[in-house]
Structures are given as C-alpha cells and as structure tokens.
C-alpha cells in the first residue's frame, strides 16, 4: 500500500513542542473500539458535514464493509506516511475514494478545548473535508486551514461549504 500518499497532512502549529506527558491510545480500529472517547466527537463531525452538504453517512457494521476507515495509529503504520510522535503531524486522510483517516495516537487529544491538547471534533471536521475531496484553505478561520493550535475548536466555515458544493456541483 506504499504507493498511496495522503492528500495532505494536518500539522499542529506548534512544531517541535516538547510534548510531555502524552496520552497512549493503542493503535486500534475505530469500529472495534466503541468505548473510545473519539467516537462521539468523530460522529458529531460527520453529522456537521451531513447537515451542511448533500452527503449521508452511516456506521458500518464491520470494518470490511466500511467505505471510510478511521483509526488511531502511531509512527510507521504501513500506509507510506508515517506519523512523527507528539506535535507536528496530527492526522491525515486520503482523497476520494480511498477513505482512510488516521489520527496520530501519540498526540494529546481532547473532547472540546483543553490547553495543550487538540480537539478531536475539530480535527475530524478537517479530515472529513479531505475524505470528501477538499484541499486546504488559505483562510485561517476555515476548518480546511492547514494547521491548528492546541486548545482551540473550529466549526465549518462558509468557504468550505461553498467549496464542497462547487466540487460536487450541488
Ligand atoms: Zn489538511
Ligand atoms: Zn496513515
């Protein structure tokens, strides 16, 4: 699978921060970890896209049936785009129709704004944009801006909604 490259990598805006201590989420498949704290925020991010676009999503019963596969992985995890430990790259997603969306398991993740941590829902909104085919925005307030600071949350920006409508001609 090393011939795939992510459409982008989502970078934290604090490169090289001495990130200690770190959460230690084990690599796991999203749908095999129903208790994972990321499930709620990630699902909310999908619902936000559904509310603002023509897309519909549903939870697959098995990983093999899923068009979109979300997981927490660390370092080199077999897709040719290794993560880099705490800081730097936070997550990545592949452009359509690949469907893979990976969070870096070595980051400090949070549900909502928490100092020094990255909001799962905000990062999911960004990565889902890539799964749907959006590129990066130069507008700093936009969810598709290429980096995010810890301790902040963002929602969908009008530019992104117009972008997806233009892309799919809806
Ligand atoms: Zn991105
Ligand atoms: Zn990956």
Ligand 1 centroid to residue 81 C-alpha, Å: 14
CATH of the domain at 126: 3.40.390.10
44-65 tens-digit pLDDT:
999 999 888 888 888 777 777 7
Q: What is the pLDDT of residue 96?
A: 86
29 appears as a binding residue in the annotation: no
> What ligand is nearest to the CA atom of residue 84?
2
Is 133 within the bounds of a domain? yes
Is 13 within the bounds of a domain? no
Is 147 within the bounds of a domain? yes
The whole domain housing 67 covers: 26-168
Q: Residue 90, Cβ neighbours under 10 Å: how many?
A: 25
Is 90 within the bounds of a domain? yes
Q: Residue 148, Cβ neighbours under 10 Å: how many?
A: 22
157 appears as a binding residue in the annotation: no
Identify residues whose C-beta is under 5 A from ligand 2, the ion: 79, 102
Q: Residue 60, Cβ neighbours under 10 Å: how many?
A: 14
> What ligand is nearest to the CA atom of residue 94?
2
Ligand 1 centroid to residue 17 C-alpha, Å: 20
Ligand 1 centroid to residue 64 C-alpha, Å: 25
Per-residue pLDDT of the chain (170 residues; tens, 9 = 90+): 233 334 344 444 332 233 222 222 223 333 333 335 677 899 899 999 988 888 888 877 777 778 888 899 999 999 999 999 998 999 999 888 888 999 999 999 999 999 999 999 999 999 999 998 888 888 888 898 999 999 999 998 777 788 888 888 87
pTM: 0.78
- 66-88 exposure pattern, b = at least 16 Cβ within 10 A, e = fewer: bebbbbbbbeebebebebeebbb
Ligand 2 centroid to residue 170 C-alpha, Å: 30
Is 39 within the bounds of a domain? yes
Angle at 94 between CA 55 and CA 17, to 5 degrees: 115
Q: What is the pLDDT of residue 170?
A: 78
Is 111 within the bounds of a domain? yes
Q: For the chain, what is the domain count?
A: 1
Active site residues: 127
Is 136 within the bounds of a domain? yes
| Pairing, β 89-93 against β 147-148 | unpaired
Is 146 within the bounds of a domain? yes
């Amino acid at each position: 699978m090393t011939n795939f490259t992510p459409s982008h990598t989502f970078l934290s805006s604090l490169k090289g921060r001495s990130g200690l201590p770190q959460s230690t989420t084990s690599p796991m498949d999203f749908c095999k970890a129903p208790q994972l704290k990321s499930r709620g925020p990630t699902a909310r991010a999908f619902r936000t896209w559904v509310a603002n676009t023509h897309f519909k999503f549903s939870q697959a019963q098995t990983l093999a049936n899923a068009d979109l596969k979300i997981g927490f992985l660390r370092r080199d995890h077999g897709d040719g785009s290794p993560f880099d430990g705490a800081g730097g790259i936070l997550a990545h997603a592949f452009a359509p129709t690949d469907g893979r969306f990976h969070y870096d398991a070595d980051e400090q993740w949070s549900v909502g704004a928490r100092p020094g941590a990255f909001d799962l829902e905000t990062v999911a909104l960004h990565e889902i944009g890539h799964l749907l085919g959006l590129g990066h925005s130069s507008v700093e307030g936009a969810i598709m801006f290429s980096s995010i600071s810890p301790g902040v949350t963002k929602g969908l920006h009008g530019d992104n909604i117009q972008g997806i409508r233009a892309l799919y001609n809806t």
